[in-house]
Structure 1
Amino acid sequence: MDKRKQITARAIVRTLLSAIYLAAGVLHLAAPGPFLSITPSWVPFPEQVVALTGLAELAGAFGLMVPRLRRAAGIGLALYAVCVFPANIQHAMDSLGRPEALSGLWYHVPRLLLQPVIVWWALWAGKVIDWPFARHTRTKSN
């Protein structure tokens, strides 16, 4: 991908990711019930944790849009995606016990499988990594 296309693609991806995390952050704060229901039982102070995750999502969303904060926001959102993975697993496991579980698989399986993509997306949008779009130059070893 040439440099100009990569800059445009990264700006589009960054804006989309920022909008998604902005919406998620607002939902975590405005309607925490669904998030509390998927919080694993071993998480202490679940109400506060859900509120803090909402604030983290909002901070990451805004940080992605501020050039000097972009890298930190990308790293933060990638770490966030890793840290909330247990809640995503818990949500999937809880859903499998319900009568409509089969239809829920269409949501949960892709969601769980795409978690590494979400981590990559945050890192790429935050200009932490260029992979797989960076051009690699090989040097000859003597």
Structure 2
Amino acid sequence: MSTTIVHLLALAYGIPFIIIGIEHFREPQKFVDIVPPYLPFPLFLVYLTGLMEITGGLGIIYPETRIIAGRFMALFLLAVYPANFYMWANDVPFNGTKLTMNGHLVRLFVQFLLIVAALCLSGDFQKLRNFKS
């Protein structure tokens, strides 16, 4: 794949994370509401995850930091999935909207695709493919 296409894909991947990360600071309560109650300091966790989304989004855009940022984003997406699962298992609305079963399944699939995309942008999937050959 050409370098230009990879840069454009990284930009398309990173910008939404930056925007969502900023939203964690602009409207934290809608994110606090989905933090599972067994986790302490929900507002702090919302700010922390917002900062991590901004950092990961910026990191994946720049070629110099893309490898580590892609790996970080894959781990980050795994780490925040408990909030998504909590929403699903307890029918918790996000920003006033409850997802249907299909909505939660789509969200799970998208989360998986985002993890795969992060690992592709980091180059790890290509390394694995070359290793198997």
Normalised TM-score (structure 2): 0.83
Residue 100 of structure 2 corresponds to which residue in structure 1? 104
Q: 1:10 aligns with which of 6, 25, 37?
A: 6
1:126 maps onto 2:122 in alignment: yes
CA distance in 2, matches of 1:10, 1:43: 37
Residue 86 of structure 1 corresponds to which residue in structure 2? 82
Question: Which residues of structure 2 form unaligned runs of 5+?
Answer: none
Partner of 2:68, secondary structure, is: helix
**RMSD over equivalenced CA pairs, Å:** 2.5
Shift of 1:8: 4.2
- The answer to whether the 8 A contact 2:34-2:92 is kept is no
Q: 1:14-59 deviations in whole A, cap 9, x for unaligned?
A: 1111011011101111111111111111111111111000000000
Residue 72 of structure 1 corresponds to which residue in structure 2? 68
Matched residue type, 1:86: P
- The answer to whether the 8 A contact 2:7-2:61 is kept is no
Shift of 1:135: 6.6
CA distance in 2, matches of 1:131, 1:71: 12
- The answer to whether the 8 A contact 1:75-1:126 is kept is yes
CA distance in 2, matches of 1:128, 1:87: 26
Matched residue type, 2:125: I
Q: 1:54 aligns with which of 42, 50, 58?
A: 50
Residue 35 of structure 2 corresponds to which residue in structure 1? 39
Matched residue type, 2:38: W
CA distance in 1, matches of 2:38, 2:53: 22
Instruction: Decide which structure has the larger Cα Rg and report it.
Output: 1
CA distance in 2, matches of 1:136, 1:123: 15
CA distance in 2, matches of 1:92, 1:27: 21
Q: How many residues align?
A: 130
CA distance in 2, matches of 1:50, 1:16: 23
Shift of 1:111: 0.5
1:24 maps onto 2:28 in alignment: no
- Taking a change above 3 Å as real, the CA distance of residues 9 and 136 of structure 1, as seen in their structure-2 partners, is farther
CA distance in 1, matches of 2:54, 2:36: 22
- Higher helix residue share: 2
